[in-house]
Structure 1
Amino acid sequence: ILIEVATVLVLILILPYIPPDINFSKSYIVKPALPLEGKLALNERLNDTVKWHEGEILGPEAFAEYNGEIYTGVNGGDIIKIIGNHITPIAKFGKPCKGLYQEKICGRPLGMVFDKSGLLYVADAYYGIFKVDVKTGKKILLVSMQTEIDGKQPKLPNGIAVSSMGDVYWSDSSTDFYLEDGMFDMFADGTGRLIKYDPKNQMNTVLIDGIHFANGVHLSENEEYVLVAETANSRILRYYLKGPKKGTHDVFLDQLPGLPDNINSDGQGGYFFPLFISRSPDFPFISQILSPFPRLRKLISRLFALPELGLKLIDDFYPNEYAQIGIHLIGHFGASDHLNGVLTPKRTTIIRVSKNGEILESLHSTNLSKVSRISEAFIYKDSLLLGSPFNNYIGRISLKSAGLQHLINSAGTAQKTTTPPTTTTKPPTTTTKPPTTTTKPPTTTTKPPTTTTKPPTTTTKPPTTTTKPPTTTTKPTTTTKPPTTTTTKPTTKTKPPTTTTKPPTTTSKPPTTTSKPTQASTTTTTKPSSTTTKPPATTKKSPSAASTAEPSTRTKTPPSSSKSPSESQPSAAEFQKQDKTKTEL
């Protein structure tokens, strides 16, 4: 019997055309996780997390903030807006579908970020890279799934970031597998890529290739480099956009005690790295144990894929929902979700890291019923929002409860919002006519904000709305309308090249805040009518990533734009029922 079994296994391993019929040739070593000691020592700082909008949404993977409103993408393919207790569908890239097992039809929004003019950029795992006007729902396809980039079509768009110059940096997690078979990519050779899309010539350039499941993407504060999470290898890579190392890349942080997902700012120039799946020196992730053995990885992948092949044959001859559910679950990350805490440590972890890659602190919870499966840690006002591709809620914990009270004053800068302008006692007297009082301040004609009553003597205030427009987005405590009238630049959410924790709005005395405001005011007067489309603080940024290999392919950018329909979609509750059915199957 053993000989017969061995013969069958050998045939499965060597025969062609057995899925996944891809290359398993690389032998590599994943470094063990750092020990949970010192700044990584276990704690329960995430235990006070509350479940916001529980049962109303499913799979809020990532977040973006605009004018104090939260946007996220959910299972079913919708982009939604959250204002307090209200949820509003904004856009959808996919088509109407029956349930989560038709994810390829529904679409699945993953990474998202606003640019400085208030347009939302989204990476949909099945439909490509989009630009969305959240006011109208109009969407424009930038990179389609049929676009060949260095001879390969993308299979899994995931993370995304936008520079001050409009260049789009995005990750293609795999060129072998779609999201519904993403688990297979963890065992295969890495084929992920970090890509730059240039909107001027609609070209895509591969910056880093061979990434083992490329995931979250984030630009540094001054846009000197861009980070990308290499999930399967538990590390973060850095690609240099400026300086002597321009065009090269290195490892920013290695040996993470888990598998990283999205990357977000901590408001002080550093980053949050949530670990979607935990690991430890004594409890490594299974695909990392097998990394030196490509043939064994291939055999295991094929053993799991054979049942999927059988279900596909059944569905071809006798289409049915049960076969489709099985096809969807085999190889999908959602199928392995129930093994969280069984094959992995019972721990949820977020790591805060400096701009130089130094671990500053860590937040944990060993109670998975409190919070688990975290893909995103996003500062919103005085809270930390925790996203997940599977949870039916948004995790929310106050910065104070999480032991992050030292980030409260800089919380706004994580979303490109300076500290609250609580000292602007004069603007309220002129807020009734800010749009029409721009004739007096000749140096701030592009921004008629709340300081127009004293244009000549308060030139240090106008810069607060020109160089740091986000200061009028999330916490405009003294101007109820003007913040929304500057929507051309409210959202440099993820890349605050000049976001500082000392906004010039803290005082009307120019001498104390002239280090940045005066520079901004002198530079913004050169473009009084340009509505500050090129803010002074970011004019130094250039799309220098193009210094790598020349753009290799042209992105087909159909100018197709339409209002995003979200009608005819199953509710979150229905999706959850279907999810239970799939689990039982």
Structure 2
Amino acid sequence: MGAKGIFKFFARRFVEIAVVALLLLFMPNLPPYTKIEEPFSVSPVKKLEGKLALKEHLSDVQIWHKGDLIGPESFAEYNGELYASVLGGDIVKLTGEHITPVVKLGKPCKGGYEERICGRPLGMQFDKNGKLIVADAYYGLFRVNVKTGDRELLVSPDQEIEGKQTKVFNSVALASNGDIYWSASSTEFTLQDGVLDLLADPSGRLLHYDAKTKKNKVLIDKLHFANGVQLSDDEEFVIVAETHRNRIHRYYLKGSKKGTHDIFIDGLPGMPDNLKSDGKGGFLVPLVVPVDSDHIAPSQLIGPYPKIRKIAARFLGVLQLAFETVDKHYPNEFSKKAVYSIGHLASTASLFKASRTTILHVSKNGEIIDCLHNLNRNISFICEAHIHKDTLYLGSPFNDYIARIPLSKIGWQHLSSKPATQKPTTTTQKPTTTQQPTTQKPTATQQPTTQQQTTPKPTTTTAPQKQTPPAKEQVPPTQKQTPPTQKQAPPTQKQTPPTQKQTPPVQKQTPPAQKQAPPTQKQDPPPQKQAPPQKQTPPTAKQTTPPSKQGTKPTPSPKQEL
């Protein structure tokens, strides 16, 4: 084929495409049945320099539960346990290496391509009573008891809010009074047709659910795929991500600007998704799809041209209609999967794998504090960054794993939410270390050492044996009456503040006294009755006043000295 033939070939193809495009543009009653009239543009993207400089922070990220779950979209925690929402309509609890199903909000289905039947839980957060507030993309806003699996529908997809129904329930943020701030990504398309929503005019909204009146109010309208929602730590404002415009909006709840909204941060080098608090007043902002000079989003590129967007949307809509018609007359799995894949955002993601994954740390004022990057492509499409104890967990709607990395490896250890449970253990060990010096201090004196050797024995023996120490204490008086030699020996040791060399003999003589003590108890039972109180166990007072047997009465005072 010569040059002339090649030219004719491409000329014919161009004419055919032009004819098809014109038919799609002007032919009436073609899907999707929505408005595609408003041009839009995206703010210039911030340069990857300074705080956004391309530094490898997430190269050592760990791939966790690979193949065990699909699409871990969002995380929530309660009582130190981590929960995740996954593809298939399930919410699971992650305990170490174990995955425990908690609740399923949708209905039984055959696979992910029947997402509208399975249900798709997205954003979720625990309230102060331990109930989980969940936004299921298809089934609505729920309150779930994770212990029993009971659920309560708070907002239904059939419910009209200011004249429109919600097609995609996306994210939630809970106020201290129980109110819920949540996002509706679209009022025109379901999540299964997310690509069509990006091509159409924006219809996303930020809403407020009043826990007392159970009524909803629209706070911000016409957001291009409204996504993550998060309250400031003082609940002064709430922010919501506008994914397709690379920016985040702020709605004021208090102060002089109450009831108004503005742009919190714009020109992000990617599309923001779920928003999370850093626990210190700031926010974590993952960019699910990177946008820069090397990563161009086609849907944003044709944003200023509504007619081109309309042609693209109708092309996809007609394809879907064709497979739906086939499946209606000849039900088959291939047609169902084709309808699902044509408009779903997962299909767009599968066409390419971005070379950059980015997570931003943003201050309360909308300033970028830090930035994490992954450039080796071992992770991608990260939609949520959640801090659990001392680890950063990374979720994605498209991956079959959870990525995680210790905060210490990325320099974020100051953001750790791990409770200081080890402090009490260290304090309990400190008393044990302090008791040892106290026991050593009495050993500097000769007689307390014998007390420490004798007092442990009663504690390990029974009650009658506990009375033997008093017998030991009375041994010196009995030794005074019978063996005068032993009587004189102790006083000499007391009068001569003796050297430590003389003390060992005393300890050697005391054991025989312990052997003689039982006979003294048998021969003189009354002394055991007179020396009843186990309070007299400290023999220091009796040794200080050896001559009188009445010294048994003031024995409680030495106990206080100890």
Normalised by the length of structure 2, the TM-score is 0.72
* Offset, 1:423: 4.5
In the TM superposition, 1:133-152 aligns within 5 A as 133-152=145-164
Q: Structure 2 counterpart of 1:392, which letter?
A: D
Contact preservation (8 Å) 1:133, 1:139 = yes
Q: Pick closer, same or farther for the CA change 1:419–1:267 going to 2, 3 Å.
A: farther
Q: Pick closer, same or farther for the CA change 1:274–1:5 going to 2, 3 Å.
A: closer
Aligned with residue 24 of structure 2, among 6, 12, 36: 12
2:396 paired residue number? 388
2:374 paired residue number? 365
Aligned with residue 144 of structure 2, among 126, 132, 137: 132
* Offset, 1:421: 7.0
Aligned residues: 417
SS of the residue corresponding to residue 87 of structure 1 reads strand
Aligned with residue 171 of structure 1, among 180, 183, 201: 183
In the TM superposition, 1:97-496 aligns within 5 A as 97-341=109-353, 345-368=354-377, 370-408=378-416, 411-412=417-418, 420=421, 422-423=423-424
Q: Structure 2 counterpart of 1:374, which letter?
A: I
* Offset, 1:289: 1.1
* Offset, 1:419: 5.0
1:488-517 C-alpha deviation (Å, 9 max, x unpaired): xxxxxxxxxxxxxxxxxxxxxxxxxxxxxx
Runs of 4+ in 1 over 6 A off after TM superposition: 424-428
Structure 1: runs of 5+ lacking an equivalent: 413-417, 429-585
SS of the residue corresponding to residue 209 of structure 1 reads strand
Q: Structure 2 counterpart of 1:380, which letter?
A: H
* Offset, 1:332: 0.4
Structure 2: runs of 5+ lacking an equivalent: 1-11, 430-562
Q: Distance in 1 between matches of 2:108 and 2:193?
A: 21
* Offset, 1:216: 0.4
RMSD of aligned C-alpha atoms? 1.6
Q: Percent identity?
A: 53
Q: Which has the higher helix share?
A: 2
Q: Pick closer, same or farther for the CA change 1:335–1:13 going to 2, 3 Å.
A: same
* Offset, 1:199: 2.0
SS of the residue corresponding to residue 23 of structure 2 reads helix
Contact preservation (8 Å) 1:75, 1:100 = yes
Is 1:47 aligned to residue 59 of structure 2? yes
* Offset, 1:15: 1.9
* Offset, 1:266: 1.3
SS of the residue corresponding to residue 207 of structure 1 reads strand
Q: Distance in 2 between matches of 1:168 and 1:183?
A: 28
* Offset, 1:198: 1.1
Q: Pick closer, same or farther for the CA change 1:199–1:427 going to 2, 3 Å.
A: farther
Moved more, 316-325 or 284-293: 284-293
1:78 paired residue number? 90
Q: Distance in 1 between matches of 2:93 and 2:17?
A: 54
Contact preservation (8 Å) 1:277, 1:340 = no
1:159-179 C-alpha deviation (Å, 9 max, x unpaired): 111100000111000011100
Pair member with larger Rg: 2
1:201-238 C-alpha deviation (Å, 9 max, x unpaired): 11110000000000000011000101100000000111
Q: Pick closer, same or farther for the CA change 1:164–1:424 going to 2, 3 Å.
A: farther
SS of the residue corresponding to residue 357 of structure 1 reads coil
1:431 paired residue number? none
Q: Distance in 2 between matches of 1:86 and 1:5?
A: 53
Is 1:92 aligned to residue 92 of structure 2? no
